[in-house]
Amino acid sequence: MRNLTTFLNQKNPWLKNPRRVLRDSDILTYRKSPIQRNYEQFSHWVFESKARNLVIRGPKYVGKTTFLKLLTERIISENEYTPIYCPLRKVEDFEKLPEALRKISTNRDVVFLFDDADQLMRYPEIIDELSSISIKNIYTIWFAELPNDKDMDEKVMLPLSFKEFVLAQRKNLEEIFRNQKDFMELFRENSLKIEAFNGLIKDLQELFRQYIITGGLPGVIAEYIKKQVIRDEVYYEFLLEFKRLAKDCLGILRVFLESIRKFTSMPLRLKSLRKKSHLEKERFDLCYSQLRRGLIIANMGTKLKKTYFRDPFYYHIANFDIEKKTYFDSIVKDLIGAPKGYITESIVFEHLFRREKYQLNYLRKGPGEIDFILNLKEDQRIGFEVKYKHIVGKRAISKLNNISKSEDLPVVILSYEKLSLKKEVKMIPVYLFLMFLD
């Protein structure tokens, strides 16, 4: 790469003229974007954390670079410190980085903002040196493992939840849902009265259809809203990142996808997944841990673990890799069948999985099962079964009724559009349920 000092000066034009930050391309793109992430909680964390090194972990297109640029703008406006933005994707000689930063730093206290810093995490001694010449360092990473002996405060930037996705596009709904109690609180209080929201079902149904296509990555969502298509290049960008992981990680995703296609409704045993991948246990565990650390997959359960993609778009990427064509075309034309059912179930899993205060599991009982069991407290549980189809058959409802009675377990069916709260097994449209999750 060309002279590192020259490169960093070019990336920080506001060092000579602070007003130039207002013309930064990433900031302008964010301001014009049809979907804008709310970064308030991340800004609060940055300014309140006592740690010297802050790490933001998240995938491509989730908004990490945009946040660093908006943070740069804010620091400049407050005129107390000097922010220096350091994109590291193309940097190879990290040993020269501290000296280059010393050359462009002013006499004032500086804050370093390191973007795409995965490779830098391999050099703890350089991280120490960088900490000695700044008041705070902020790093964005994706798959990297943090150095064990460093004082680092890590925060995860996840794809938008469905509720965030909706409120970013429908500002008129923000007032309606802002002060609503969480679904679990309403359930505990036996005050689940959401029939009043029946008029929103069609609009939310269409937005949920979009969410199945794009997932919650703001960069992907913005492209779809603007062009009604997602370019092949976007899929290839993600696949390139996956190929940079430990060898065979992408192969595990391929095996995982094939298993989903064949056994959509069955729990996926990790032991079985490893066997199909033809990898030694140590190699498989390394790849699987990287995919989990990179927020691509997660699992629940103990002995018989169910594994899920953590965002719908990751499913589409894996499918694109296998088919060598965009899954986009087929899913837009025909959102039916087993893949859509799995994607919907994985969306519900992710939203419940984020709620760390509740223990999440599932239940198999004879020929039937409940997709998700949430322990609200020691003596209270609730079950959720995803049935994202136009008609839920009487036989399926009867099975759930039997499980509900034998296990003394209230069960809620997350349906396509049916809303019924009077029977023992209640039905709520999945997208309406997601709007009541904080």
What count of Cα atoms within 13 Å lies in the side-chain half-sphere of residue 366? 7
Q: How confident is the model at residue 368 (pLDDT cuts 50, 70, 90)?
A: confident
Instruction: Check residues 115 and 299 and name the one with the higher pLDDT.
Output: 115
CA–CA separation, 40 and 38 (whole Å): 6
Instruction: Check residues 274 and 346 and name the one with the higher pLDDT.
Output: 346
Report pLDDT digits (tens) over 123-160.
999 999 999 999 999 999 999 999 987 789 999 999 99
CA–CA separation, 49 and 340 (whole Å): 41
Beta strands (DSSP E) in 50-185 are 53-57, 82-87, 110-115, 136-141, 152-156
User: Is there a contact between 415 and 144 (Cβ–Cβ < 8 Å)?
Assistant: no
* Residue 94, token pair as written in the block: 């990290």
User: Is there a contact between 278 and 309 (Cβ–Cβ < 8 Å)?
Assistant: no
Q: Let me know if 132 is exposed, middle or buried by CB neighbors in 10 A (0-12, 13-18, 19+).
A: exposed
CA–CA separation, 105 and 24 (whole Å): 20
CA–CA separation, 331 and 344 (whole Å): 13
Report pLDDT digits (tens) over 300-344.
866 557 788 899 999 888 888 777 655 555 555 444 445 678 889
Q: How confident is the model at residue 1 (pLDDT cuts 50, 70, 90)?
A: very low
Question: Quick one: pLDDT at residue 303?
Answer: 57
User: Is there a contact between 399 and 437 (Cβ–Cβ < 8 Å)?
Assistant: no
Determine what percent of the chain is predicted with pLDDT higher than 90: 40
Please, which residues bridge with residue 360 across strands? 374
Residue 284 has pLDDT above 90, yes or no: no
Question: Quick one: pLDDT at residue 245?
Answer: 83
Instruction: Quickly list DSSP for 328-385.
Output: HHHHHH---SHHHHHHHHHHHHHHHHT-TTSEEEEEEETTEEEEEEEEEETTEEEEEE
Question: Quick one: pLDDT at residue 117?
Answer: 96
pTM (whole model) above 0.75: yes
DSSP 136: E
Task: Set out the domains of the chain in order of their start, with CATH numbers.
Answer: 4-156 (3.40.50.300), 162-435 (no CATH)
Report pLDDT digits (tens) over 84-93.
999 999 888 8
Rounded mean pLDDT, 271-290: 83
